[in-house]
Amino acid sequence: MKQVLFKLLIPGNIRRQLYKYYKRQIVNEEIENLRRIEETLPHVDLSPIYIANLRVVIDKFALLNALPRSSVVAEIGAQEGDFSSQIISISRPAKLYLIDSWPSDFSAVMDIVANKFRSETNLGIVTIKRGPSIEVLSGFGDGYFDWVFLNASRAYECLSAELEICRMKVKENGLISGCGYTIGSWPDRHRYGVIDAVNEFCKRNKWEFVYLTHEYDRNLSYAIRKMRD
């Protein structure tokens, strides 16, 4: 009703000017928001030593083929369990922990995951843990995992915290892997903090890249490990 009245009361040329004005305002606000985000990020470049042992693989399924099999694994951000299924079918983990916060309005999604992996859960292969990633990971002993896959937040602050705790929770020669290693999502105009968080983590803790994917959409996945002496 309001739209009909708007068209009846406001001449077409005025409406078009108003639409252009508000569109410009929205775009300017988005640009300003991106500028503010950019100013908070560290923009860390890596020197050659951090990629000296890097191997490029075609996609994240090839990455799963390269990661150790029959391992103790955690996926942070299991969501509906789609990638979890790939971990199981390709990597054949001895133990896989699916960790996700699954807020109250996503309880049905957790039920979907529980049903999807009921057989693996009954066999003791899959364990589902609900809660904030840092809180859940804190419940594991240091050096427990062979590798983890970070599949949840793309935000710099959150991912930085996850990388730091995973550094303690993987074995001495363990791997931290994840996705979203790109500047951001152009269609969504959303700036990621993954490159910033991962590069900064590697420089601070002397970790190196061992795998990086090469998808066309540049939504790359990575795997890093502690540098060997």
The pLDDT of residue 159: 97
Share of the chain above pLDDT 90, in %: 73
**Are 136 and 167 contacting, i.e. CB atoms less than 8 angstroms apart?**
no
Task: Express each pLDDT in 120-160 by its tens digit.
Answer: 999 999 999 999 999 999 999 999 999 999 999 999 999 99
Mean pLDDT, residues 55-66: 97
Mean pLDDT, residues 81-92: 97
Does residue 5 carry a pLDDT above 70?
Answer: no
The pLDDT of residue 51: 97
Say which CATH superfamily domain 44-226 falls into. Answer: Vaccinia Virus protein VP39 (3.40.50.150)
Cβ atoms < 10 Å from Cβ of 68:
14
Q: What is the mean pLDDT of the chain?
A: 90
Is the model more confident about 55 or about 218?
55
Instruction: Tell me how far apart the alpha carbons of residues 178 and 194 are, in angstroms, rounded to a whole number.
Output: 9
**Are 188 and 31 contacting, i.e. CB atoms less than 8 angstroms apart?**
no
Q: Domain limits of the chain?
A: 2-38, 44-226
Does residue 14 carry a pLDDT above 80?
Answer: no
Does residue 72 carry a pLDDT above 70?
Answer: yes
Task: Express each pLDDT in 31-40 by its tens digit.
Answer: 677 677 778 8
The pLDDT of residue 71: 98
The pLDDT of residue 103: 86
Task: Express each pLDDT in 164-216 by its tens digit.
Answer: 999 999 999 999 999 999 998 777 778 899 999 999 999 999 999 999 999 99
